[in-house]
Amino acid sequence: MSSSSVRIAPSILSADFARLGEEVRALEKAGADLVHFDVMDNHYVPNLTIGPMVCQAIRPHVQIPIDVHLMVEPVDAIIPMFAKAGANFITFHPEASAHIDRSLSLIREHGCKAGLVLNPATPLSCLEYVMDKLDMILLMSVNPGFGGQKFIPSTLPKLKAVRQLIDAHKQAGGQDIWLEVDGGANLSNIAEIVQAGADTVVAGSAVFGAPDADGGYSGIINQLKTKASAL
Ligand code: DX5
Ligand code: ZN
């Protein structure tokens, strides 16, 4: 994908939770492509965040897809709940499901796009037999659990390797698979991230930490897109 069409997925983990409806409307107005929705269960990861009721509450506020990133274990029971709450993408960590193939099918059966999330140290081998069931591969560039962490550089060669897998899959007649990166993305590293093969970039603290004077987010989202196309 050309870097000029990179998708920006602001993570509402860094939003003002007391004004979430307003915050997601501001993101859409500013040109965000997806709302990244981080679900943490105080079990798979130490933090505890938001669930299907919050997804349902923000759903009427935006048209753009809601990209639900499950950091919960196990995953199967909560998948239908998020589908019902208006999620468009549902991704989960392979370590958190005893039956990865079944969980991926479950997501699609409920009308959502399905994806796997690989932690920085998770090998690519878990993708091998499920490529046809994936609409998205999400590479973590930090260890999951918290916003505002530093980008782990070994993600860059890993992105390149996954880009090759996706391109080879498509060349062999396979479906399109989005390649998203999550954690520590900002104005200084987005160009490298996109050059390494990402077509979708999550940004939490980078977006919500740099609001426009009127509280909107057009400035930072435009800058991220411009930097992404700089190389
Ligand atoms: C981390 C979350 C990320 C995080 C990104 O577990 O999955 O989505 O909120 O935040 P930043 O961009 O601040 O690293
Ligand atoms: Zn996330």
Model pLDDT for residues 210-231, shown as the tens digit of each residue: 999 999 999 999 999 999 998 6
Measure 76 CA to ligand 1 centroid, in angstroms. 23
pLDDT tens per residue across span 45-89: 999 999 999 999 999 999 999 999 999 999 999 999 999 999 999
Order across the sheet with 35-40: list the strands: 7-10, 200-203, 178-182, 136-140, 113-118, 89-92, 66-71, 35-40
Tokens in use for 109? 């059966």
Predicted local distance difference test score (pLDDT) of residue 5: 87
Instruction: Select which of 41, 67, 182, 199 is catalytic.
Output: 182
- Find out whether 2 and 199 touch, Cβ atoms under 8 Å: no
Predicted local distance difference test score (pLDDT) of residue 145: 97
Measure 143 CA to ligand 1 centroid, in angstroms. 9
The residue range of the domain holding 137 is 3-228
> CA 95, 52, 82, 198: dihedral to nearest 10 degrees?
-60
Predicted local distance difference test score (pLDDT) of residue 1: 47
DSSP 33-53: S-EEEEEEBSSSSS-B---HH
> What is the chain's mean pLDDT, rounded?
97
3-state secondary structure at position 168: helix
The answer, yes or no, to whether any atom of ligand 1 lies below 6 A from the CB of 10, is no
What average pLDDT does the segment 15-36 reach? 98
Mutate to test the pocket of ligand 1, among 11, 45, 89, 151 (most ligand atoms within 8 A of CB): 11
Residue located nearest, by CA, to atom 6 of ligand 1: 144
**Active site includes 33?**
no
Predicted local distance difference test score (pLDDT) of residue 215: 93
| pLDDT > 80? residue 201 | yes
The answer, yes or no, to whether any atom of ligand 1 lies below 6 A from the CB of 147, is yes
If one counts every other C-beta atom within 10 angstroms of the C-beta of residue 19, the result is: 12
pLDDT tens per residue across span 140-177: 999 999 999 999 999 999 999 999 999 999 999 999 99
CA 56/CA 76 separation, integer angstroms: 18
**What is the dihedral sign for C-alpha 104, 184, 221, 215?**
positive
Indicate the number of domains in the chain: 1
Phi/psi region, residue 123 (left: phi>0; alpha: psi -120 to 50; beta: rest), is: beta
Predicted local distance difference test score (pLDDT) of residue 4: 55
Instruction: Select which of 38, 41, 135, 199 is catalytic.
Output: 38
Query: pLDDT band at 3, cuts 50/70/90?
Result: very low
Name the closest ligand to CA 69. 2
| CATH number for the domain harbouring residue 174 | 3.20.20.70
The answer, yes or no, to whether any atom of ligand 1 lies below 6 A from the CB of 69, is yes
